[in-house]
Structure formats: C-alpha cells, structure tokens
Structure 1
Amino acid sequence: MPKPYPEEFRQDVVRVARNRGPGVTVEQVATDFGVHPMTLWKWMRRADIDDGAKPGVSSQENAELREARRRIKLLEQENEVLRRAAAYLSQAHPPKRIYPLVKELAADGTPVAVTCRVLKLARQPYYRWLDQPVPDAVLEQAYRTNALFDAHLEDPESGYRFLADEARSTGRDNRWWSVFGKKRGRGGRAGPPVHDDLVRRDFTANGPNRLWLADITEHATGDGKLYLCAIKDVFSNRIVGYSIDARMKSRLAVTALKNAVARREHVAGCILHTDRGSQFRSRKFVRALDRHRMAGSTGRVGAAGDNAAMESLFSLLQKNVLDRRRWTTREELRIAIVTWIERTNHRRRRQAALGRLTPVEYETVMTTPALQAA
C-alpha cells in the first residue's frame, strides 16, 4: 500500500494548480508533480471545502473532532490516575513507593506516560524498578551504609577521615565527602557534537536511501524572509523531502525529515548528513532520527566543503529561482520553489552525473527488479 503524501506537499500542488498559467491543465500539473490527476482533483475539492467555497466538513473540523475525542480520553485517564492514587496513599500504612500503583494502572490500560505525568514521576527510574525492584547495588550500598553508621555509633568521636577509610576498606566509599571539604569546581569543556562525521566528504551512494543530505536556505520577500529546508538523496540527486516556513526553528528540519520519510520507504540505516546548525542539533530532530532508525552525521565547524553537495543544489536554486526577480509575497516564492523542485529539477533537468537522466528517470532505471537482481 503506497504511503500518503505529506500535507505540505498536497497544499503546494494545489497552490500550483490554482495558479497555473493559460492553457495549462490540471492533468499537466499532476504529471509534473508525479501524482494521479484524480488525486489532484480530490485535493482541490478538499481545499475548496476547507476555504469555504464548497459545503462540507472541513479538515480543520475533522481534526478538532479527533483532538476533542483524544482530550476526553486523556482526561478520563488522568482522573482515574488521581482517584486511584488518592486511594493508594490513604491506606492505614502508606506504601513507601508509588511504582506498584503505576504498574497496576498500566495493567488496566492507562499508559505509563500519562500516569507518570500526572504523578510527576520520571519514567526511566520506573522502568528500571520494573526490571529489578531492588537492585543489587542498592542492597550492597545499604549494607555498607549501615556498617558506617554502626561504626559511628560505637565511636562518635571518629572523624570523617576514619569513616572514609572504613568505607574504602569495604571496597566502596559511596562517593561521600565531608561537608567541610574544599569546594569542587564545576567548569568543563563543551561536549562533543551531536553526531560524528560519517561521510567525510564522500558524497556517493550505491543505492537509494543510503545517504541523505540536508541544509537550510533563506530568501527575502516583501512579506519577510522565507526559509527552505531540503533533504537530498545523493544516489539520484532527488529532493526526497522539504519544508518551507516563515520561521527557522527546529520544527522546520523535523517537518522536512517527516515529509521525506513519508515519501520514501526502507529508510532504516540511512545516513542523514547536515551541518552544525541548531535546528539539526535539537532534541526534536535527534529523536526523529532515532524514531526512524536513521544515523545522523555532522560536518565540522566552518568547513563548507563538508556539505558541498547540498550547497551546489542551493546555488542552482538561487540562480534559477530566487535571484530571477523580486518576490512580493512568501506565497508567490513558495509556489516558484516547489515548482522548480518537483517539475524542473526532478523531471526536466538532465544531469551529467546521472548519465544525462533526470533524477526521477535515474531512480526508475537503476532500481528496476532486473538491475537489482543483477
């Protein structure tokens, strides 16, 4: 079953279809963007409903209904957690730990994440407790702690050095120190980059979804700046995903990655190489890579050649679209960018590196079952 097209891609195709020139049919626009004409007509009807031009339930109303149902279910779960927690803690002999309650609620269908959020608990300690309710290290530390307290009770005048020696003689000092000791410095060097450089300027791949490159570019319009985050597969030089926004936040890079994964298959193990921009080092972006089982790769600071293959694509975009004229609105520039990517770059621009084929033609030829078998 084919994967659904990203929502941002659908909106861009509808924009281009609505703003098509004289003599250009909807079918031609659909062909340029690689979608079926009936699919594009459905998207345009849905856009008319969302804009209020035609009667019907809009996508926003459907989304609000789904969100309301989700919120109702979440509130019911949160109320159940509070009710059970109140009963659990009001026992004659209150329990020392609340993790057993989390386990009981999970068995009854309440997600652990919901329970921990309501009770303000961290999930990782709970899962560690679930694997081993009383770790051996905790028991060992408790025994040695008791031994130190016993030694102090036997001779209260013993100083901290004596007790520290007693702890070391047992094989562990529990990382204790005297409150009268010297202050410890907290300074340190900055940590390493989020990812290592797995590419080292070798921008080649022997198959699709082996190595992707990502970068962000910007251009000014009359409405303000417009930012484009694009992801390119070096196997065919095809832009497998992109996102366009008025703000350059981590969401821009995360959405571009989500759109790329939605349009491709078998991305596990794919390397995504970027520069050290904050968008690509954000927690959201790193979590997105882990969720899709992809490997991150980061170039060096101030080394433009570490992502030169992506810079060359943006140079072409700059010459062919961005610098050709002054752009009055972001909407105008957005239509021009997506048209150049999907129609010109993917389906019309033949590249010498691909044997004078377009990226779409190259992928079609090089990924046929016969060549795969060979």
Structure 2
Amino acid sequence: MVEEKKPRRPRRSYTDEFKAGAVRLVVEEGKTVSQVARDLDLTLSALRTWVDQARADAGKGKPGALTSAERQELTKLRKQVRELEMERTLLKKLGGLHREGERVKFEFIRAEQAHFSISLLCRLLQVSRSGFYAWRSRPPSPRHSADERLKVLIREAHEKGRRTYGSPRVHQALRNQGVHVSRKRVIRLMQVEQLVGRARRRYRCTTVSEPGLPVAANLLQRRFTADGPNQRWVGDTTELTTPGGKLYLAAVIDLYSRFVVGWALSAMNDRHLTLKALDMALRRRRPEEGLLHHSDQGCTYASEDYQRVLEQHGLLCSMSRRGNCYDNAAMESWFSTLKNELGESFESASDAKVKLFDYIEVFYNQQRMHSAIGYAAPAEFERAAA
C-alpha cells in the first residue's frame, strides 16, 4: 500500500498589523511562543523572528542602545573571549604533550573533543584535522589491540592479588598463564591503568626481653632457606591496633616454603600467645625431632614453659642476637608484608581475627606468589615438591 504524500503547505505572507498583533500576545500578554504559534497556525521559527525583530526595534530609540552592527561586533568579541579562555584552560592541560608523537596527540584530542573544539585542539597541538580524522577512522594497530588485551589480564592479576601486587608479581602471573610479555611493557600498562603495588613499611622493634632468662645460641646464622619442609621454623610477635586497644599476633613460618604453619591472636603479649601459635604449628605439621626453631630473645620465647614444649618435641632452639633484627629477617619481612597488604588497624578484635584468617589461610598460604620460592604460593610450592 502506497502512502499518500501530504500536500505541501503554501508559503504565506502576513501584514505588519497581523505580525504586530501576534507579537503583542507574546510580549505584552505573556503567552508562550509555542502557544501563540499554535493558536494562530504559525510556524515557531516565523513567530520567533517577528518577536526578536520587534524587541530589537524597540531598543533602537533608547539611550545607549546598540546598533545592529555593534551587536554583531559585541557577539564576535564575546566569542573571541570564550575561545581565549578555552585556549588558556587547554594549554594548562597540554603540559609536555607538544613533544609527543602524533598518535599520543590524537589520543588526547579524542579524549578531550567533548570539551573543546577539534579545530582548537589540532591548532594548539600543531596537527592537521584531516590527519586526526584519518587516524580516528583507521582500524587499531595490532600493537594497540594487544595492549588492550594485556590491560584486561593485568587488571585481573592485580585484582587476584588483592590489589597488592606490583609489576614483578603481575608479570609472573601473566607468565604463569602462558602470556609472554616483557616486564617493561607490564610497567607501562600498569602506569596507564594507574595500578600500583603496596610499598613496604619501615621496621619497628617490639621485642621485650627479660634479663636472667636463658638465651640460646644463634644456630640459624641467617640461613633463611631449607631443603625440605619442617626443617627450619622462625617465629615472632607483632603489634596490631583497634579502637579498644592493642592486639598481638604471634606467627610461626616454615622457611622451606614460607608457609605460615601456626599463628595466634591475643590482647596480651605473653607466653600463652606464643605457645598457642606453636601448638597450632605442631598439630598441623607434626615435625620430627631435630627441627630448628628460631626466634628473638623475647621473654615469651625464653620462658620456661615455651622451652619445655620445644624440648618435649625434640626441637632445637635458636635465638637472634640482642637487638639484631637481621638475624630474624624472614619473620620481620613477613610481618611487613602482612601490614602493607592487610593493614595493622582493625575495627575490633573479632574483625581482626576474621581478616587475619582470610589473609593468612586463604590468600597468603594458598594464593599469594612469593618471590623467595620462584613466585609460587607456599602451598603450591610444597605440593609441587612432594
């Protein structure tokens, strides 16, 4: 079925009196242009033109009224002022972009074209509009497409690392997926995506020793490696904070895989805390006699109760020299990692316990890549060696 075309509306003309009457309805009686146009069967554009002309004519006889040429000149000057203000704003954003290549400049133009005219952007960056339009219509290069795919994988690796991974671990995560890319490229794309790892904190000594307690020799001698699991353990305690006061975390780590074999949390930094962490480690691993247990000279580790448990299970006791944090650097490094990635302030003791369990047992032991064992997770490293 063919639709019939509506007959074209013939062009009409109106007398000056009719125009004045229509304008009076808008100007004096306060009706809207659309309402008057509808009532008089006029086009909106025609009625607006009459109203604008009437207002312009009314202002000609007033003192200080501008002529038509002056109004045009004023409009032109205002436009130039706006352009100068936009140009000044844009120059602040350009920075050292003038020294970049065309591709970088075109990327900037595309990002800013919603706020500034393309002509102004091209003029200030000294590139041609035709070149920009040609670049915009050109399909993305293979390198650019590969970068976009890599950005997705990098963001996934960073999120999987709980937003704590820097470029070394993100690079290793990509390699584990079979993605071969240079670390410099990973660094560049992480900078573009504004992804950063957590920086390490400065060391703070919290050891509390008690004169008169027996002190063991330093048998470990800073050998922070082992040929197999349950050969060398290191232990220590650190402080955490809550609005209600301090909390103390004791932990025991296996130097073979950096697996946290035991840990405990308490509001009191006493021998019961360290014994609880040691008890978890002993129940979990059931080590044979001869395991070397290293700690600092803190009173909780030098206590009679703690030494008795070590002796009962045939564990050799080793202690750092007084005030020397480097003798137990592996343990200090772990606490630094924990506080950087999880934090050291919690809402409450129960909040700290839940978050520590999730970080230690779920993330650190099972998922987090460790540089000392070839960027494998501790549990994964032990399974691979079994």
TM-score range, shorter chain: 0.3 to 0.5
TM score, norm. by length of structure 1: 0.46
